[in-house]
Amino acid sequence: MTLTVLPHRDAAGLKAGQLYVGGQWTPARDGATWTHLHPATGEEIGEFAVAGAADVDDAVAAAREAFPSWGTSRASTRIGLLLKYAELLRAHADELRALQALDNSVPLSFGAIYATSVAAAADVFTHHAGWVDKAGGQTLPPYQGGDHLALTFREPIGVVGAILPWNAPFLLFAQKVAPALGAGCTMVLKASEYASFAVIRMVELLAEAGLPDGVLNLVTGPGDPTGERLITHPDVDKVSFTGSRAVGKRIVEASAGTLKRVSLELGGKSPAIVFPDAPNVGLAAMTTMGAVTMGLSGQACVANTRALVHRDVYDEFLGAAQGMAAAVTYGDPFDPGVISCPLVNGRQLERVLGYLEKGKAEGRLVTGGERLGGDYASGNFVAPTIFADVDNHATIAQEEIFGPVLAVVPFESEEEAIALANDTEYGLGAGLFTADSARAFRVARRLRAGTIGVNGFQVEPHLPFGGFKQSGLGREGGLSAFEAYTELKTVLMPLGEELM
């Protein structure tokens, strides 16, 4: 069997090599392009434009020009755009999933998982449409008495540079674009160079929904030159970024020049804690290993890639996790029987293979530990892997691997489990499995992470999501995300003749 996605590529009619600037689709000024290779087959999928510094400057200028009008537009205009776009997304869900499969090889079957689906992205737009006429300021009573008004207003921050990763383009596009446009900001959006085709189509649909020229501009291309120009551009007021911790740190550094506002959604090394009173240890193991293997093959920021398992249920956990590993299927993302994907590119494949070798020295290999060959040899496929008896300080228990690799660490007491869970530089998510609700609450409150799942984990698009510690700055989802695209202004107004 030779894997190929070329018939799907030919059917998709990809938009070639164009940026979206000031309401026009245009090639890069210097004609630079990037050829996208499919992660499962190595086949050439298509070319898109690489925006150079001059193109990013054009896009920022277009966003700046559009800001005074969009930033003061009627609430009904912004609500109308967001709601209409949500409907268009829902109507084009199948087409977008197919484009994503050509981009990053995430299988069509994974569309049934709500969290990163087009349906979830559409719901984010519906949700933020609701804040446009509700997220406002306050009227505050005077602290010192007297007859004057103190009012606060929320005003749009200005021009936002938004940068996306490759792994969940629908949801992450929505988590940035919906609140930013809803709050009255204008934008320059940078797609990941490993997931551009779906994002290009999402922008086309936004234009179809009635986006005014210049309000959102799309630049495609890699971190250098495209991303670098955006994060250092003096006329960008805020950078909203989802991606790796290393690039997040670079963005904080680059923001210093003009003191840009920064929101960061970064990586994690999230723990799943399995207590001996877990209601179903087998299910806990399958849930944990499933999150590390299904759909994104462990290339998910919040996957619980570190399992802390009580010694009393340790062997039962390992057996069920191994069963889950054996059930994962790889291959053609358009095949409904395929439930996972390869690693996104050759660089990531090399990185993960390096961690597998480290893991063999640091833990006990239970299953996997190698690249898949045979029919899979032309893609970046890695076998679902479990390392048991890992020390929590080992590299594979501390670093974000971003592959289908679970590190299992044993523990003996609740106190020890909490200490191990928190002994990480990250703090994005955590899961715990117990039938004791008092323990669940007690432990959840002591874990230093942004989202905690008790006996399961379901990210919803309207809930605040983000990281403690080095997993990020700020939150996406909900009112706090909407407010993160606004500045708070205080206006004081004496009503009488008194001197202030």
Assess 292 for contact with ligand NAD (CB under 6 A).
no
Minimum CB distance to ligand NAD smaller for 220 or for 367? 220
Minimum CB distance to ligand NAD smaller for 246 or for 438? 246
Minimum CB distance to ligand NAD smaller for 226 or for 322? 226
Minimum CB distance to ligand NAD smaller for 313 or for 428? 428
Q: Of 58-66, 120-128, 185-193, 331-339, which segment contacts ligand NAD by CB under 6 A?
A: 185-193
Minimum CB distance to ligand NAD smaller for 167 or for 287? 167
Which helix or strand (DSSP H or E) is residue 47 part of? strand 44-49
| Smallest gap from residue 269 Cβ to ligand NAD (A) | 9
Distance CA 446, CA 26 (A): 52
Among 104, 192, 470, 486, binds ligand NAD (CB under 6 A): 192
| Smallest gap from residue 190 Cβ to ligand NAD (A) | 6
| Smallest gap from residue 264 Cβ to ligand NAD (A) | 8
202-261 positions binding ligand NAD, by CB under 6 A: 222-224, 227-228, 231, 242-244, 247, 250
Among 17, 165, 169, 369, binds ligand NAD (CB under 6 A): 165
Is 253 catalytic? The answer is no
Residue reference for tokens 């179809």: 208
| Smallest gap from residue 99 Cβ to ligand NAD (A) | 17
Among 19, 199, 218, 301, binds ligand NAD (CB under 6 A): 301
Report which residue type is found at 361.
A
303 torsion bin: left (phi>0), alpha (psi -120 to 50), beta (else): beta
Distance CA 383, CA 386 (A): 10
Which helix or strand (DSSP H or E) is residue 137 part of? none
| Smallest gap from residue 237 Cβ to ligand NAD (A) | 16
461-500 positions binding ligand NAD, by CB under 6 A: 472
How many residues of this chain interact with ligand NAD, rule: CB under 6 A?
29
Assess 266 for contact with ligand NAD (CB under 6 A).
yes
What are 348-356's contacts with CB under 8 Å, separation 24+? 348/299, 348/380, 348/402, 348/403, 349/380, 349/382, 351/401, 351/402, 351/403, 352/382, 352/401, 352/402, 352/403, 352/405, 353/382, 355/395, 355/396, 355/399, 355/401, 355/403, 355/405, 356/382, 356/385, 356/405
Please spell the DSSP secondary structure of 324-391, one letter per residue.
HHHH---S-TTSTT------SSHHHHHHHHHHHHHHHHHSEEEE--SB--GGGTTTT-B--EEEES--
What are the CA-CA distances from residue 168 to residues 231, 296, 324 (Å)?
A: 21, 9, 23
Among 55, 58, 400, 414, binds ligand NAD (CB under 6 A): 400
Minimum CB distance to ligand NAD smaller for 246 or for 361? 246
| Smallest gap from residue 492 Cβ to ligand NAD (A) | 38
Contacts of 123 (CB under 8 A, 6+ apart): 86, 461, 462
Minimum CB distance to ligand NAD smaller for 318 or for 452? 452
Please spell the DSSP secondary structure of 175-201, one letter per residue.
HHHHHHHHHT-EEEEE--TTS-HHHHH
What are the CA-CA distances from residue 499 to residues 260, 384, 495 (Å)?
A: 36, 72, 11
| From 193, 265, 362, 400, active-site residue | 265
| Smallest gap from residue 51 Cβ to ligand NAD (A) | 11
Assess 402 for contact with ligand NAD (CB under 6 A).
yes
Catalytic annotation, residues: 265
**Residues of the shown chain interacting with ligand NAD in the complex, contacts defined by CB under 6 A:** 163-168, 190, 192-193, 222-224, 227-228, 231, 242-244, 247, 250, 265-268, 301, 400, 402, 428, 472
